[in-house]
Chain A
């Protein structure tokens, strides 16, 4: 058994794809039309083009998902997390690009982490593993 796909809930394909590629720096892997406007869009890390794919899943308006996302945002809880080599460096790069951070880089002991708004209704954590 392998984990080859995970997903993030979005509301608008193009807006999400723009953010996840142009701001975060992921690369589009698949963009498959599924009919009636639906698309199967995944992105991958340029460092791992054959690694786990992130599906941009347009389920943000599904009532249960909408409620979950609103609660997570309200409570400041990240929807998911991505690993980076240097949180401070990524934070500064993304701030320059206008990304809103709800938590600046913070030392959590074994990790350092920051949290940003992905403009698709999610808070996303970036973290680095600290040398301890």
Chain B
């Protein structure tokens, strides 16, 4: 059973995490580290990790990785020709590492994804990993 104080703490945590999520979206093309994100939330790193995971359902690292892969997917959907350029922008240092992560999330390699029509690619980006 939640008490008034618990609800206030929960709302405070939600506000903090939403601030962090906004910061991540606005700075997704830049290097992001846990210390900086925890600082924005106003928590210690371990506390931030627990609160973020509890609120979002995945760790901050996983959230950032997924957002970057989704952005990469949108670029490929729009016709990006250079997968290595897309990989580097998504924070991967090689085509192979990017392809592996992309396939883990969406169930298709970037090359296969690029062959999809706009509608199919959009559906996949919405759903995440292909069922």
Contact = CB atoms under 8 A, between A and B. Distances in A.
A108 B125 contact: no
For chain A, which range describes its interface: under 10, 10 to 19, 20 to 34, or 35 or more residues?
10 to 19
Contacts of B95: none
A104 B20 CA distance: 21
Interface in A61-106: 74-77, 100-104, 106
Contacts of B29: 101, 104
Contacts, number: 37
A109 B79 contact: yes
B122 A75 contact: yes
A102 B85 contact: no
Contacts of A77: 122
Contact of A75 (B26, B82, B126): B126
Interface of A: 74-77, 100-104, 106-109, 113
Interface of B: 25-26, 29, 70-71, 74-75, 78-82, 85-86, 89, 122, 125-126
